[in-house]
Structure 1
Amino acid sequence: MAEPEHGITTGAVARRLGVSPTTVRSWDQRYGIGPAVRGDGRHRRWYPADVAMLEEMCRLTASGVPPAEAAHAAQRRPSAGPVTTESAAVPPSESAEPVGRRTPPTGAPSVEARRAGPGSGLPLGSVRQECRGLARAAVRLDGAAMEGLLQEVLAQYGLVTAWEEVMVPTLHAVGRKWESSDDRYVEVEHLLSWHVSTALRRAAVTGPVTTSSAAPVVLACVPAEQHTLPLEALTAGLAEQGLPTRMFGAAVPAEALDAAVRRSGPAAVALWSQARSTADHALARHVAGTAFGVRGARTAPLVLLAGPGWLGRAPAHGMIRPSGLREALDAIGRLYGRPAGHPDG
């Protein structure tokens, strides 16, 4: 299925990058970071090369480069052709995309192996062969095939690699497809998300039974944040290592999160924010400052600012901003005396 000929809207681009449409328009007006081609009526329509330029702008500004300099550098970046799922999923410094990729088992397809062939229906780019099968099953609404494929990749590659190199690229490919197709394929994204969630929860349940009395890890989406899949992946990864977790899910009210932290006395708290509009820095500081334990030996949890919503501000004391699932697992594992790079299956 061919890509749409008219690009995608500014709103769709903004949602993908985790910034406001006003910011995207401002970059265009002030610095010339705009689409090469405009539709009828001068409306902005963004094509893959345009989106790649915006992603570079986001990456540079998030790392502290002044906007004018970032715009100049982004405009001069070498043309990389169509944007792949791995570059377009989440800004490079944030959590959903691969960091420190795991080397596949002997005989496994290369990460850079095959491009999605004709009939895949989704713009997958250079990703695993398994992504092509999962994408085709999603487009066919073939739930049984998706379930089987997800079980296979989890068993063969382990949780981290399955999440970063199969699940995330396919999910983002589906998201881009409906954004650029007049909201078609919404049913494909919903069904795929449900099966990915099911596979992750199954992996969490089948992990080693935790009998330790060690402090747990609390995982929650900030208030108004509905995206839970990355936290479900982190929950499954922790369960795979036999670490205790308490997963509270989507849009946890501030009062409920405070109560959960105080009642469970966690070693770490992972807070997910998909967009800057949902990132609650005051709440994160409050959680990081919540101390518990006996007088003279009180401790506070390590707060993980997970997700692209936390970009743009340096983490405060007692907080870290992991760049991916593996880094988050390593940081939490160290709290329990686990070595970095603990095997994921």
Structure 2
Amino acid sequence: MDPVPPHPPHDHPPELPAAALSTGAVARRLGVSPTTLRSWERRYAIGPARREDGRHRRWTAEDIARLELMCRLTAQGVPPSEAARAAVGAAPGGSAAPEPAAAEPTAAPGGPNALPLGEVRPECRGLARAAVRLDAPAVEQLLDSAVAEHGLVTAWEEIIAPTLHAVGRKWASAGERYVEVEHLLSWHVSCALRRVRPAAEKLRSPSVLLACAPGEQHTLPMEALAAVLGERGLPVRMFGAALPAEALHEAVRRTGPRAAVLWSQSRTTADRALVRSVAAIEWGLRGARGHSALLLAGPGWGTGSPDPRTERLFGLRSGLTVIENALRSADHPEPATRTGPATGARA
């Protein structure tokens, strides 16, 4: 963050700069709760440099630099009281102390150990900071705020997924370090997705089957898809991680979904023979057989489709469009009067 030049002398205190942020905005940016900021201000006097009576707190760039340094130090294990003293001393005009993030204005806490986020939204950076600190209450609050403010699709694509990817990259490059960060963040993401209340299912709406390929343990993208489909009132049958091949066949036959989405995170779980066999399944009563649109999601499948009867999904937003088109398609022989799956039907 660029150093803030000293204020010129005035007879009266100057107005706060237009860029000053509210406590809530600063909390989202740093990955802490507003309550934590107020507690730090009360206990360690690390609050806004200036306030006017009758107005909300407004944090300037200089104030935020102090907080960023404090977050970085506490993430490294420094007690909050010591981190606050160092952060206050690092302010312009303070005692000699570590410089406040001038060279790394947007890095997550930890200096060289920061998560590799790149150019992301401030909320994403705040979530990463909270995850690195293992601050579970802040992670939960930030996730719920992101979903409530931006909607589930935008929150997933622009805040949650980039943070998960950054944690995964850090873990892959740091041996066994950061596993605890990934586990904590993944757990709270899963909990946040399940807190999304589904809408009432639309009458006679065709179902969507979601499953991970055999051996595949990564479920969060499918959980996000299940949550957003539920928001739209579409019946979802979620089968979770590592669904065995035989069980997948049975699930498709018994539920008769208009669309089945199969997730594979890596090439080792992307079974192309399984795809061909599932794509060939027919369900329903004799004389009124149908088949499911088989949609492949996840990087394990590569860029193409292993079977001409399948289609690839790329991203939650675009994937939803593909699924909704498949549900509206008249290219299925299932009778329009059917109200439920053909339970027990066999190919």
Deviation (angstroms), 1:115? 7.0
1:336 pairs, out of 307, 323, 327, with 327
Deviation (angstroms), 1:129? 0.3
Deviation (angstroms), 1:151? 0.7
- Alpha-carbon contact 2:206-2:234 (below 8 Å) kept: no
- Please tell me whether residue 295 in structure 1 is matched to residue 286 in structure 2: yes
Secondary structure at the counterpart of residue 305 of structure 1: strand
State the alpha-carbon separation in 2 of the partners of residues 240 and 179 from structure 1.
34
State the alpha-carbon separation in 2 of the partners of residues 313 and 137 from structure 1.
37
- Please tell me whether residue 180 in structure 1 is matched to residue 173 in structure 2: yes
Q: What amino acid is aligned across from residue 106 of structure 2 in structure 1? A: A
- Please tell me whether residue 243 in structure 1 is matched to residue 250 in structure 2: no
State the alpha-carbon separation in 1 of the partners of residues 195 and 139 from structure 2.
14
State the alpha-carbon separation in 2 of the partners of residues 273 and 115 from structure 1.
36
Secondary structure at the counterpart of residue 269 of structure 2: coil
Q: What amino acid is aligned across from residue 129 of structure 1 in structure 2? A: P
Deviation (angstroms), 1:263? 0.8
Q: What amino acid is aligned across from residue 310 of structure 2 in structure 1? A: M
Determine which structure has greater relative contact order: mean sequence separation of CA pairs < 8 Å that are 6+ residues apart, divided by chain length. Answer: 1
State the alpha-carbon separation in 2 of the partners of residues 228 and 272 from structure 1.
8
Q: Which protein is bigger by CA-based radius of gyration?
A: 2
Identity %: 59
- Alpha-carbon contact 1:217-1:270 (below 8 Å) kept: yes
Deviation (angstroms), 1:334? 1.7
State the alpha-carbon separation in 1 of the partners of residues 108 and 148 from structure 2.
28
Deviation (angstroms), 1:146? 0.7
Deviation (angstroms), 1:315? 4.1
State the alpha-carbon separation in 1 of the partners of residues 172 and 306 from structure 2.
32
Secondary structure at the counterpart of residue 266 of structure 1: coil
State the alpha-carbon separation in 2 of the partners of residues 335 and 181 from structure 1.
42
Q: How do residues 1-345 of structure 1 correspond to structure 2 at under 5 angstroms?
A: 116-117=106-107, 119=109, 121-203=114-196, 206-311=197-302, 313-337=304-328
Deviation (angstroms), 1:223? 0.5
Q: What amino acid is aligned across from residue 279 of structure 2 in structure 1? A: A
- Alpha-carbon contact 2:211-2:263 (below 8 Å) kept: yes
State the alpha-carbon separation in 1 of the partners of residues 206 and 124 from structure 2.
37
Most deviating of 176-185 and 239-248: 176-185
- Alpha-carbon contact 2:266-2:299 (below 8 Å) kept: yes
Q: What amino acid is aligned across from residue 197 of structure 1 in structure 2? A: S
State the alpha-carbon separation in 1 of the partners of residues 199 and 304 from structure 2.
37
- Alpha-carbon contact 1:304-1:328 (below 8 Å) kept: no
Deviation (angstroms), 1:294? 3.2
Gaps of 5+ in 2: 1-103, 330-347
Q: TM-score, normalised by structure 1?
A: 0.61
Deviation (angstroms), 1:177? 1.7
Residue 286 to residue 170, structure 1, CA distance change in 2 (3 Å): same
State the alpha-carbon separation in 2 of the partners of residues 173 and 285 from structure 1.
34
Q: What amino acid is aligned across from residue 323 of structure 2 in structure 1? A: I
State the alpha-carbon separation in 2 of the partners of residues 116 and 302 from structure 1.
43
Q: What amino acid is aligned across from residue 166 of structure 2 in structure 1? A: A
Q: What amino acid is aligned across from residue 271 of structure 2 in structure 1? A: D
Report how many residues are paired: 223
Q: Report what 1:68 is aligned to.
A: none
Q: TM-score, normalised by structure 2?
A: 0.61
State the alpha-carbon separation in 2 of the partners of residues 148 and 324 from structure 1.
25
* Deviations 1:31-87, CA, capped at 9 Å, x for gaps: xxxxxxxxxxxxxxxxxxxxxxxxxxxxxxxxxxxxxxxxxxxxxxxxxxxxxxxxx
